[in-house]
Amino acid sequence: MSDFLVTGTSGFIGSRVSEILLQEGHLVIGIDNLNNSYDNRLKKWRLKQLKEFSNFIYEEIDIYDHKILDKFVSKTKRSFEAIINLAAHAGVRKSVENPRIYYETNVLGTLNLLELCKKFEIGKFVLASSSSIYGESDIIPFSEENDTDIFLSPYAASKKSAEDLCKTYNYLFGTDISILRFFTVYGPAGRPDMSIFRFIKWIIEGDPIQIYGDGQQKRDFTFVDDIAKGTINSLRRVGLETFNLGSDNPIKLLDVISIIEQETGMKANLEFKDKFESDVFATWANIKKAKEILNWVPKTSFMDGIKKVVAWHLENKEFVRQIKI
Ligand SMILES: NC(=O)c1ccc[n+]([C@@H]2O[C@H](COP(=O)([O-])OP(=O)(O)OC[C@H]3O[C@@H](n4cnc5c(N)ncnc54)[C@H](O)[C@@H]3O)[C@@H](O)[C@H]2O)c1
């Protein structure tokens, strides 16, 4: 059994990755700053589930604050197997309004964690990157070799910078690094700033569904358990590699809504808004590399995934009603 430092442990993906590691019997030290990037009652809800595990230790820390981070890791006296960096300011649209906090966490935060790897001789680092760095790439499905020099948002640019820092630390200090480019993740207790959480909440509560653009845009929706398992598979030693983790099955937003209508038995009332400039038309992952090197394939079909999310929303109806979006 190993010790892991997981950042963004109260986040959507971080909580699931932490949970699986805890179920496997590892010790997880989870850190998060519980910021208000979205209604943080949801972050506290996830954290409460993790605190049920006796092998979980939580500390509220901002990864931007390198002095506190350093002091904390030194105080734990642990020999970490890996740092899994899932803390970030995520989301394309908000990054246009407030780019600075994206850079503080996504770039300088990543730098601070890479420094920890160097100082405390932590041999493995995993970085959560994003499909958004492909922009409107015309080579589809997107493969890891595609050009990533077209940035449509400060969020995408910050992820690209974090990837570059990883390459530098691998080159200079030999840190073994897996860079994971996640494609639109959805699942129970998901992010309320993302489409699937909002669509289900709006449909169940009888509110109009707001769609940016005409709803024809496609996303390679990937179930959170698959993403979490891919993240854990990427803990193996690879040197320095970048992997797409996606479902290889893009779905149109309007079709997503029909599937949710079918699952809830309720009718959606659509309200179309202007397309957002930084939103890409489609995402689609080529996942050959993750299959070959990480022995990873996404296992959850979109229908099964949506069933699980709708069930979670119905089980937690009163709680979800209070969540601000
Ligand atoms: N969800 C997706 O579809 C998706 C897609 C591509 C990439 N990603 C990436 O995956 C990672 C996890 O995303 P998520 O969907 O779980 O997002 P999330 O916002 O739910 O989780 C991120 C967590 O990090 C914490 N955090 C943010 N800044 C911090 C800081 N400075 N110090 C400590 N904690 C901090 C937040 O409070 C939050 O709990 C992020 O790097 C994100 O960019 C997510």
DSSP per-residue codes, 247-308:
-S--EEHHHHHHHHHHHHT----EEEEPPPTT--SB--B--HHHHHHH-------HHHHHHH
Which residues in the chain come in under a pLDDT of 70? Answer: none
| 169 among known catalytic residues | no
Give the pLDDT of residue 280. 85
Which residues are 259's β-sheet partners? none
Q: Which three-class secondary structure state does DSSP give residue 203?
A: helix
Closest CA to 227 of 325, 129, 318, 150: 129
Residue nearest to atom 42 of ligand 1 (CA): 90
Q: How far is the CA of 127 from the centre of ligand 1 (A)?
A: 11
What whole-number distance in Å separates Cα of residue 129 and Cα of residue 156?
Answer: 9
Measured CA to CA, the distance from residue 200 to residue 322 in angstroms comes to 14
Would you state the pLDDT for residue 266?
A: 96
Ligand 1 pocket, 124 CB below 6 A? no
Q: Whose CA is nearest to atom 21 of ligand 1?
A: 11
CA of 188 to the centre of ligand 1 (A): 16
In the chain, the DSSP E strands lie at: 3-7, 27-32, 56-60, 82-85, 124-130, 176-182, 185-186, 209-212, 218-219, 222-223, 240-245, 251-252, 270-273
How many alpha carbons fall within 13 Å on the CB side of residue 145?
2
- Contact assessment for residue 284 and residue 141, using Cβ atoms and an 8 Å cutoff: yes
Does the beta carbon of 190 lie inside 6 Å of ligand 1? no
Report in angstroms the alpha-carbon separations of 120 from 79, 179, 201: 8, 20, 44
pTM for the model: 0.98
* CA 161 to centroid of ligand 1, rounded, Å: 16
Tell me the CA–centroid distance for residue 187 and ligand 1, in Å. Answer: 14
182 close to ligand 1 (CB < 6 Angstrom): yes
Q: Which CATH number goes with the domain that contains 161?
A: 3.40.50.720
CB of residue 37 inside a 6 A radius of ligand 1: yes
* Ligand 1 atom with the shortest distance to the CA of 87: 24
Alpha carbon distance 252, 220 (integer Å): 9
Residue 108, pLDDT score: 98
Which one of the listed residues 38, 103, 134, 155 is annotated catalytic? 155
> Residues with Cβ < 8 Å from 164, sequence gap 6 or more?
none
Calculate the dihedral angle through the C-alpha atoms of 169, 61, 151, 136, rounding to the nearest 10 degrees. 110
Q: Tell me 109's DSSP state.
A: I
DSSP 222: E
Do the Cβ atoms of 186 and 194 come closer than 8 Å? yes
Closest CA relative to residue 118, chosen from 75, 86, 80: 80
Q: Which domain holds residue 214?
A: 3-322
Measured by CA distance, the residue closest to atom 27 of ligand 1 is: 88
Q: Say how many domains are in the chain.
A: 1
Alpha-carbon distance of 224 to 238, in angstroms, equals 23
Cross-strand partners of 272? 211
Residue type, 97: E
| Residue 279, pLDDT score | 80
